[in-house]
């Protein structure tokens, strides 16, 4: 749990470090990025391109901009595919350094579509410390591997809650993130505390990373963002087909 919160906070952390960042909200049924990012203006159409709204230095596209509030829409497989395609092809992203995709719960269809549009995509798995969550996250990782999206790291969320007594309480257990990372043979990129302010920041469009930059959670997001931008930096890929003779 915490995929969307982690996506949004990492996005604003990367933006604050000087990168150009976009977020695609690929959760068609349970979209939440516009609210969490506080990006609630609608996209603007210019020259057949959708110009996505932005806030806190992060641009964002979401199905939430296109469906009337509170209305349930049934998406068939091909429509889902088409919506994602448009998010990637018809939106003016302006060459971002990072395009973060907030995935829906579960796996399946969306991962498959994305792997076709973003063949060089990379996956970061968010998990909580207890074994049950770890199993779910492991399944997502297995799905990513099936569609050839490499898993690059694990982020553990809700790792502890610090009480008024200053003690850390491991409400959801301990060790799950590291175990999953070991199992997938990737690094555990960081651990995020359980803090009410993180939820509040999501509810009011003021991510904690921006709202309380000195907090433990904000510092953890900044550190994870730095690791992703430096040590995990995507390698430049040179295609043989583009070789100049
Ligand atoms: N570390 C955390 N501390 C406090 N609340 C959190 C934390 N991570 C997530 N939440 C809250 O839990 C709820 C679910 O998180 P969300 O990011 O939407 O998860 P997902 O995208 O995986 O469904 C949200 O209300 C969010 O604000
Ligand atoms: Mg979500």
Determine the residue of 159, 202, 211, 218 to mutate for testing ligand 1's pocket, defined as the one with the most ligand atoms within 8 A of the Cβ atom: 202
Return all residues near 152 (Cβ < 8 A) that are at least 6 apart.
122, 123, 124, 186, 228, 232
Q: Which atom of ligand 1 is nearest to the CA of 8?
A: 17
Top mean-pLDDT range of 7-16, 23-32, 39-48, 146-155: 7-16
Cβ of residue 2 lying under 6 Å from some atom of ligand 1: yes
- Non-local CB neighbours of 45 within 8 Å, separated by 6+ positions: 51
Residue nearest to atom 24 of ligand 1 (CA): 199
CA-closest residue to ligand 1 atom 5? 199
**Closest ligand to the CA of 5:** 1
pLDDT digits (tens, 9 = 90+) for 161-170: 999 999 999 9
**CA 76–ligand 2 middle distance (angstroms):** 20
Compute the distance between CA of residue 167 and CA of residue 185 in angstroms, rounded to an integer: 31
Average pLDDT over residues 135-158: 89
CA 142–ligand 1 middle distance (angstroms):
23
* pLDDT of res. 236: 57
- Residue ranges covered by each domain of the chain: 1-121
Which DSSP string do the residues of 30-81 spell out, in sequence order? Answer: S--HHHHHT--SPPEEETTEEE--EETTEEEEEGGGTS-TT---PPPHHHHH
Q: How far apart are the CA of 1 and the centre of ligand 1, in A?
A: 6
CATH code reported for the domain at 1-121: 3.40.50.300
How far apart are the CA of 184 and the centre of ligand 2, in A? Answer: 22
Alpha-carbon distance of 16 to 19, in angstroms, equals 7
**Residue 44 above 60 pLDDT?**
yes
């Amino acid at each position: 749990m915490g995929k969307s919160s982690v996506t949004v906070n990492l996005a604003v952390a990367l933006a604050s470090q000087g990168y150009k960042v976009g977020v695609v909200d690929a959760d068609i049924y349970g979209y939440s990025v516009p609210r969490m990012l506080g990006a609630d203006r609608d996209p603007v159409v210019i020259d057949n391109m959708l110009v996505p709204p932005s806030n806190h230095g992060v641009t964002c596209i979401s199905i939430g901009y296109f469906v009337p509030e509170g209305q349930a829409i049934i998406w068939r497989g091909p429509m889902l595919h088409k919506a994602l395609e448009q998010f990637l092809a018809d939106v003016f992203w302006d060459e971002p350094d990072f395009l973060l995709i907030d995935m829906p719960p579960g796996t399946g269809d969306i991962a498959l579509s994305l792997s076709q549009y973003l063949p060089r995509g990379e996956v970061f798995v968010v998990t909580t410390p207890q074994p049950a969550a770890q199993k779910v996250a492991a399944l997502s990782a297995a799905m990513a591997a099936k569609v050839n999206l490499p898993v690059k790291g694990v982020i553990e969320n809700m790792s502890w809650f610090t009480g008024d007594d200053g003690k850390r309480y491991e409400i959801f257990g301990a060790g799950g993130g590291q175990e999953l990372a070991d199992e997938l043979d990737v690094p555990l990129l960081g651990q995020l505390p359980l803090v009410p302010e993180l939820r509040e920041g999501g509810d009011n469009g003021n991510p904690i990373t921006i709202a309380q930059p000195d907090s433990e959670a904000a510092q953890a997001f900044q550190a994870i963002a730095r690791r992703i931008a430096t040590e995990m930096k995507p390698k430049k890929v040179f295609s043989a087909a583009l070789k100049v003779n």
